[in-house]
Amino acid sequence: MTHSRREWLATGTAALLAPAIIAPLPTAAALPPAGRQVASLYRTKVGDIEVTAVSDGTIALPVAVFGDANLAEARRLLAENFLSGDAPVPCALNCFLVNAGGKLVLLDTGSGDALGPTMGHLPANLAAMGVTAEKIDTVVLTHMHRDHAGGLCDKAGRALFPSCELVIPEVEAAFWFDEGNINRVPQGSRGGFAYAKQVAAAYQGRIRRLAGGRDVLPGITSQDAFGHTPGHSIYRVHSGNAQLLVFGDMVHFPALQVPHPEWGISFDVDPQAAVATRRRVFDMAAADRLMVAGMHMDFPGFGHLRKDSAGYHLLPAPWRPAL
C-alpha cells in the first residue's frame, strides 16, 4: 500500500501534536532547613598580615544597659535600623585571629560556656578553618570581662589553650588579679575576680603583662584605651602602610553609640573615662582613615568611621571574595 505525500505530512503533524508520553523523573527529597549559618569566618589582609574575624555568637541585651541613653532617642535609632526598642537587642561578639610572622595570635577568646547557648561558638568556628587551641601561639586580651576572656578556662578551671602564651594588658592584670578592687566594679561584674584567679592559676608561668604602646610581636602594638575596664586596651595591626585598629569594646551597639558616643553601658567600670576614650579613639580612627575591627560590631566587624558636622558614621567594609 502506498501513501501520498499529503498523507505522510498529515500523519507526521498529528504525531507531533499528540501528547508525549514521558517517564516521570525521580523527585529529589527536599532538604530540611539548616537552622544555622555556615561557619562564621571572614578574612582580610593588612599588608602581609592576614586577619580572620571569628564569631563567638550573639547575646541579646536590653536597651536599659545604656543608663545614660535617652530611651525615646534610642528607640528611634533602633527603629531606623529595623530593630525593636521594646525587646532585647542582639549584640555580636567577634574575636580576631592574626596570622603574622609565622605565628597565630588570637585577640580575645569569646565567652566559653559562661553566657548561654547563643554564645561560645569560637572553638567550632576555628575548627572549621582547621585551627585547634593547640595551634594558637599567643592569646591576647583586650580586657578581662567574661565575654572576652571566658574561653580561657573550662568549668573546672583548666586551661583551654594548652601551650599558648597569654598576654594581658598590664593595668588590666593588676586590677583583676587583686580582689581588693572588688567594690570598684558594677555588681554584675564582680564575679570577674574569681575567674581571674582561675586564669592566673591555669596559665601560671605563661602570662605576659604588656604595657601600653608595646608590641605583642612585630606587627601588633597595644594602645591604652582605659575606661570600660581599668586596663582596657586596643591593638593596632600594621604591615607596611596598611593598618587595622582592633578596638575591643569601644562600642556595644553601633546603632546607638556611634551617633551617641556619650552613651555609656552599665558594664563600664569608669563611665566618664570610657566616654572620653571612645571620643578620642573615634577621632583618631576617622582622622587617620583607619579600618577598625570591633568585638561587638555586627559580624564580621570590619568598617570605617567617618566624622562630619552631624557626628560620627560607621561604614561597614564591603565584602570581598579575594584578599
Condensed to tens digits (0 to 9), the pLDDT of residues 259-304 reads 999 999 999 999 999 999 999 999 999 999 999 999 999 999 999 9
The two beta strands, 103-107 and 41-46, are: unpaired
Alpha helices in the chain (DSSP H): 5-17, 71-80, 122-128, 146-149, 170-176, 192-202, 254-257, 271-287
Q: What Rg value do the Cα atoms of the chain yield, rounded?
A: 27
Contact call for residues 106 and 41 (beta carbons, < 8 A): no
At residue 278, the pLDDT reads 98
Ranges in the chain, pLDDT < 70: 1-29, 68
As a whole number of angstroms, the distance between CA 197 and CA 235 comes to: 25
At residue 16, the pLDDT reads 47
As a whole number of angstroms, the distance between CA 288 and CA 239 comes to: 15
Structural domains of the chain, with CATH = 38-316 (3.60.15.10)
At residue 30, the pLDDT reads 75
The two beta strands, 49-61 and 41-46, are: antiparallel
Condensed to tens digits (0 to 9), the pLDDT of residues 162-208 reads 999 999 999 999 999 999 999 888 887 888 899 999 999 999 999 99
**Cα angle for residues 276, 282, 285 (degrees, 5° grid):** 140
As a whole number of angstroms, the distance between CA 116 and CA 124 comes to: 15
At residue 216, the pLDDT reads 97
At residue 87, the pLDDT reads 86
Neighbours of 23 (CB within 10 A): 5
